[in-house]
Amino acid sequence: MQVLIVAWLFGCFIEGASGFGTPAAVAAPLMVALGFPALAAVVMGMMVQSTPVSFGAVGTPILVGVGAGLDQTGIGAQMAALGSNWDTFFHLIFSRVAIIHALCGILMPLIMISIMTRYFGRNKSWTEGLAVAPFAVFTGLCFVIPYAAAGVFLGPEFPSMIGALVGLAIVVPAAKAGFLLPKDSWDFAPASEWPAEWMGRIEMKIEDVAGKTPVSVPMAWAPYLLLAALLVASRVFPQFKALLMSFTFGWKDILGETGVSGTLEPLYLPGGILCMVVILTFFLHRMSARELGAAVSESSRTLLGAGFVLIFTIPMVRILINSGVNGSDLVSMPVAMAQLVANSVGDVYPFFAPAVGALGAFIAGSNTVSNLMLSQFQFNTAGLLGLSGALMVALQSVGAAAGNMIAIHNVVAASATVGLLGREGITLRKTMLPTLYYLILAGSIGLIGFYVMGISDPLVGAAG
């Protein structure tokens, strides 16, 4: 049950709020403190980085990755010609991402437990994991149903956080009541029998990962609930949304180019709302300035690591997208790549679209960066095949999320927290199986969506 509640549901919430490898880095030390072998804790933490990842960091992989990775101007113009707009097309993308993830994510809790019992149990048994199948599937459903609903009806900022919060509210009481739980309990062998490769170099106790100052459960959850409430309010209530969007600053005629301008609404952005919650938490928890400074310093190091990559990736992507503007009348680079793939692979390409996204995440270590690099390529490939670009880009995002389970950057970060550096290869071999499950199922859903259900979008036949 600790895997389902601590690793899966709590990890999904942390992914929704923070992203960028945080769930594994947070959950792994906590599980070690609860008595898990260090290697098992890292593997479980890495497997969480699947279903919630596309909507992690308050929707960054979608808002920044897909949003900046696609030619918004060109797509917006095509949609305008049809009497619609970019926002409508963008909604098609992230709602389909949510639905595909929901279908794939139902079994992820069961797969996590089965891998734990197979590789880290006394009897190395798959069937011991399957014994908890009813409760594991129940846990998966408790997460993915509100997750999908939030993705379809609210927006890309919410699914992972809302799915996890609703899931925790249902699963924890159900576990306490013994609902669907197997009669027999399961545990690891005594630590003295664990192989050396399971053991981390850092010894952890539960007090080492808990806060120094005792905090009540409602007070501990208050910042997260505030974040979810403010995000929902800012997107659902027009008056509150207008108030936040009234604070703007921008730059007109950038670098002297007439008509090239940009604006920013800092309070409406998810990051701005996160900052507001930080300020409220400072007073709510009665923190000292020193404690706040330490928290800002630690989180800034993570922010700089992720931001450093994006600072260079986003300009590179804009160059890729606009490379078609040249004196030689050559097509843009994403179009050229799409032409090659469409001619080489043909109609079965949708099955491989998630794998392309996963490869991007494996190389870049980030769903966001994979989406930035490959969304336009996937969109153009769909156009050349006469298929829905929105669904193809959704498959890209889902695959990139699955690729996070084998992203070396994330494995290293999680391993470092429990003293497992140098054994990343062992972790990758164990997370490869759930990654393949995710990619095969997502690719199959894509083929069914395109060729059986005939899923389309307004731009089919117009993109290219």
CA–CA distance from 104 to each of 272, 290, 444 (Å)? Answer: 32, 44, 11
Per-residue pLDDT, 311:
78
Question: Taken in order 414, 419, 423, 426, is the CA torsion positive or negative?
Answer: negative
Residue 257 located in a structural domain: no
Spell out a b/e string for 194-209, using b for 16 or more CB atoms within 10 Å of the CB, else e.
beeebbbeeebeeeeb
Determine the Cα–Cα distance for residues 276 and 278; give it in Å rounded to an integer: 5
Determine the Cα–Cα distance for residues 36 and 28; give it in Å rounded to an integer: 9
Tell me the sheet residues that pair with 264.
249
Which residues lie below 8 Å from residue 410, measured CB to CB, with a gap of 6+?
Answer: 21, 24, 46, 49, 365, 404
Determine the Cα–Cα distance for residues 375 and 31; give it in Å rounded to an integer: 36
Encoded amino acid at 112, one letter: M
Range of the domain at 406: 2-186+222-248+264-452
- Residue (of 237, 298, 299, 296) closest to 268 by Cα position: 237
Cβ 373 vs Cβ 367: under 8 Å: no
The DSSP element (H or E) to which 249 belongs, if any, is strand 249-251
Q: How many residues does the chain have?
A: 464
Residue in the block written with tokens 């997260």: 224
Determine the Cα–Cα distance for residues 388 and 409; give it in Å rounded to an integer: 32
Residue 80 located in a structural domain: yes
For the chain, give percent helix, strand, coil, nearest 5. 75, 0, 25
Tell me the sheet residues that pair with 262.
251
Determine the Cα–Cα distance for residues 291 and 269; give it in Å rounded to an integer: 25
Which residues lie below 8 Å from residue 60, measured CB to CB, with a gap of 6+?
Answer: 19, 270, 368
Residue in the block written with tokens 């940009």: 262
Cβ 266 vs Cβ 247: under 8 Å: yes
Residue 26 located in a structural domain: yes
Residue 460 located in a structural domain: no
Per-residue pLDDT, 392:
98
Per-residue pLDDT, 306:
60
Per-residue pLDDT, 109:
98
Residue 428 located in a structural domain: yes
Per-residue pLDDT, 258:
72
Number of domains in the chain: 1
pLDDT in tens, 382-403: 999 999 999 999 999 999 999 9
pLDDT in tens, the chain (464 residues): 889 999 999 999 989 887 777 787 788 888 988 899 999 999 999 999 999 999 998 899 999 999 999 999 999 999 999 999 999 999 999 999 999 999 999 999 999 999 999 999 999 999 999 999 999 999 999 999 999 999 999 999 989 999 999 999 999 999 999 999 998 889 999 988 999 899 887 666 655 555 556 777 788 888 888 888 888 888 878 899 899 988 888 888 777 777 667 778 888 887 888 889 899 999 998 888 998 898 888 777 767 766 776 677 778 877 877 788 788 888 888 888 888 988 899 999 999 999 999 999 998 888 998 999 999 999 999 999 999 999 999 999 999 999 999 988 788 888 888 888 788 899 999 999 999 999 999 999 999 999 999 999 999 976 44
Residue 202 located in a structural domain: no
Determine the Cα–Cα distance for residues 339 and 331; give it in Å rounded to an integer: 10
Determine the Cα–Cα distance for residues 97 and 235; give it in Å rounded to an integer: 19
Q: How far apart are the first and last CA of the chain?
A: 49
